[in-house]
Chain A
């Protein structure tokens, strides 16, 4: 059962602020979808290996050779806020 507390917990893990007014709506929607995907519990998967990669491609490497990095102009072209060659964010520890 997806309670408001569960929605709150999941939202905080996901770093999403959810207004209290929306908790039960999201909870209901999640509940619906989870109920549907619970269909999978009908399957006997005890001897089935999981598929995380669809094809058995293995051992893809790059060699340890240096490639050009972004120029400082490029590296900060999209920065929300920067200061003295650094990306700037609100203080982390208050």
Chain B
């Protein structure tokens, strides 16, 4: 039995019955990393953390490289952080450690989570375990690839515009972006602070519920954290979908979607209809403005969030060569020029531009208002539906290099995932089929704020009846 291929809940059952020991699980997973990571490049680094004594759930977990683990490097897959080791644990890491979780190491990602393919990493691109010529999606491409490849039982990702859900979709795993404020951002290296959430990437919905229960909860150190009790999400999974109102937004089924994706998602709709759910055609009229809105808001925040990487305190410092070497400003400019990749530079400049004098109203302020319209669309839809169902991404995993020359086309691959971040609502991606080439297809369920339980039980009903999650990538 390959322990690395099991889900966390399966492993916990074996552990509870005394059939395996925690160390055996860890050894199996680490062995798998050694075996396949050279091909996936999902992990940037692995390390051995001290075991916590209360090892209630000793599940090997991978951590996206933008979440702080005390005394371990965190680089956001960027050269600019060099070998920076934070002197503190992120709130979610405290919770993982308290649960007995076994932290395996740091997972690859797009530099600073800027991307949808994990090709902008300074630590090399990540390969999709289903087809090594293809991208795993992004920005949490390392997290999704590791879970799909058996390199981690489960993983943490972060989602600013779809960075958990789109790679989950591309890698045939489950990924959930919680409601904004459900999970503390303390210790997550910020990209778009008003959009970022940490969330689970797992092999099935049950694990997703369990990991979400571990990492959720109020945190006084994050002012935007919401003080609401955390249910045991795994306990609420078995719920009938009869009578559930599922909205199908017409704006999510327009040109640009691959036929196989549309077919699989429509089939899922039919499944729910047969199970007694009420299917409603709905309209989210401002959907077409979501990408534009997002790229203004997210880059504006990012341009400011990334200002701290300046070569003063920590990380990389590069002094320019003699002729230009004059002082601190030159050190800033040279450090940042060498430390950031092109996509980071583009986003920093775009964000700087939309906030600069004379452009603030035309771009940034207008985007904040468009955000209101997009959020209002969704708020209104949820007065009438429990769930909104759509594809997670318009396509399956694309070829490495296919979109790198055209930043805008890359941005548009996040078109279905971005609205949930703009509106702060929870959304899950789960496998709903495969295309002709055997690449996984994902569907997205969005819910009202703090409706994670409903998302998970709906996803669970689908997963158990259709079983797509049991198909594994062959490596």
Contacts and interface: CB of A to CB of B under 8 A. Distances in A.
A and B touching (Cβ–Cβ under 8 A): yes
Interface of A: 6-7, 10-18, 26, 29-30, 32-34, 36-41, 43, 45, 48-55, 57, 60, 62, 70, 74-75, 77-81, 87, 89-94
B331 A89 contact: yes
B370 A40 contact: yes
Contacts of A32: 407-408
Given A15-B332, A78-B313, A90 B292 contact: no
A74 B315 CA distance: 15
Task: Give the one of A14, A33, A49, A53 with max B CB within 10 A.
Answer: A14
B334 interface: yes
B87 interface: yes
A49 B369 contact: yes
Contacts of A16: 333, 336-337, 340, 345, 348-349
Q: Kindly list the 9 A-B residue pairs having the minimum CB-CB distance in the complex, ordered from nearest.
A: A50-B368, A54-B424, A45-B369, A17-B333, A17-B337, A15-B332, A37-B292, A78-B314, A48-B369
Contact of A55 (B181, B303, B313, B320): B181
A41 B362 CA distance: 8
Contacts of A50: 365, 368-369, 371-372
A81 B328 CA distance: 14
B310 interface: yes
Interface stretch (B133-141, B219-227, B266-274): B219-227
27 contacts: A10-B349, A10-B356, A13-B352, A14-B349, A15-B336, A17-B333, A17-B336, A29-B407, A32-B408, A34-B363, A36-B411, A37-B295, A40-B366, A40-B370, A41-B362, A41-B366, A43-B373, A45-B366, A48-B373, A49-B372, A53-B224, A55-B180, A75-B87, A78-B313, A87-B313, A92-B328, A94-B327
Binding site of B, secondary structure by majority: helix, strand, loop or mixed? helix
B52 interface: no
Interface string B189-224: 000001000000000000000000000000010011
Contacts, number: 168
Interface in B400-458: 407-408, 411, 422-424, 449
Contact of B84 (A55, A74, A78): A78
